[in-house]
């Protein structure tokens, strides 16, 4: 059963109400765990991410460092949602781009699927580009494969520019399950 406190916490995440978050956590130190138990659909960080409440999301990640790795019922992490929504500020908040989500997809995979060139560049700037470009989904797809399969020409060329140099050529030769 969902408590009034859980509903208030969810509303605080939607509205970015840091004061309410602080008061609820002060009143009940286990309220974040209670929310996790009551809402198996998504985490509080998912709610804040979808509402584009960056400061609230920062505070949640400060309080619960593992919350960013949690998957919602559809297998998406909060970072995946930020990438899909094109929320540039949320994406650059944490360097979590190599975490695997649904079908072992990373944030770069979602950026390629959605053609988010600005996010692709941000993700590759914040990590080791070669390693991130070699990440494959459960079907053996790289971000390059996904850009092509989803007709994201700009994303494909954005990824290609990161593959210049002899040590990165192997990514171009990678095959997927097909």
Q: Tokens 């650059």, residue?
A: 92
SS3 (DSSP) at 80: helix
Label residue 130 by pLDDT band (50, 70, 90).
low
Q: What is the mean predicted confidence (pLDDT) over 152-175?
A: 75
Rounded to whole angstroms, the Cα distance separating 163 from 134 reads: 11
For the cut 50, the answer to whether the pLDDT of residue 29 exceeds it is yes
Query: For residue range 66-91, what is the model confidence (pLDDT) as tens digits?
Result: 888 888 999 888 988 888 888 877 77
Cβ atoms of 71 and 49 within 8 Å: the answer is: no
Query: For residue range 78-128, what is the model confidence (pLDDT) as tens digits?
Result: 988 888 888 877 777 655 667 788 888 988 999 999 999 988 988 888 766
For the cut 70, the answer to whether the pLDDT of residue 2 exceeds it is no
Tokens for 164, please give them: 């210049």
Q: Is the dihedral of CA 81, 136, 154, 151 positive or negative?
A: negative
pLDDT, residue 156, reads 92
1-18 b/e (C-beta count within 10 Å ≥ 16 → b): eeeeebebbbebbeebbe
Best CA proximity match to 78, nearest among 64, 150, 122: 64
DSSP H stretches of helix in 16-168: 18-27, 31-38, 44-50, 54-63, 78-85, 88-91, 107-114, 117-125, 129-134, 143-149, 153-161
Cβ atoms of 107 and 140 within 8 Å: the answer is: no
Write down how long the chain is: 178
The pTM of this model reads: 0.69
For the cut 80, the answer to whether the pLDDT of residue 60 exceeds it is yes
Name the more confident of 153 and 125.
Answer: 153
Rounded to whole angstroms, the Cα distance separating 68 from 5 reads: 22
């Amino acid at each position: 059963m969902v408590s009034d406190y859980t509903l208030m916490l969810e509303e605080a995440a939607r509205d970015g109400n840091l004061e309410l978050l602080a008061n609820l956590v002060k009143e009940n130190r286990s309220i974040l765990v209670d929310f996790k138990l009551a809402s198996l659909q998504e985490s509080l960080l998912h709610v804040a991410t979808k509402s584009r409440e960056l400061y609230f999301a920062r505070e949640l990640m400060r309080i619960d460092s593992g919350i960013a790795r949690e998957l919602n019922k559809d297998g998406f992490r909060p970072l995946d949602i930020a990438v899909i929504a094109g929320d540039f500020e949320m994406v650059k908040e944490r360097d979590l781009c190599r975490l695997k989500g649904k079908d072992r997809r990373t944030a770069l995979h979602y950026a390629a699927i959605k053609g988010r060139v600005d996010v692709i560049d941000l993700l590759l700037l914040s990590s080791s580009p070669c390693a991130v470009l070699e990440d494959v989904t459960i079907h053996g797809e790289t971000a390059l494969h996904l850009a092509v399969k989803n007709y994201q020409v700009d994303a494909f060329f954005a990824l290609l520019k990161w593959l210049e140099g002899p040590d990165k050529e192997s990514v171009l030769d990678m095959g997927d399950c097909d």
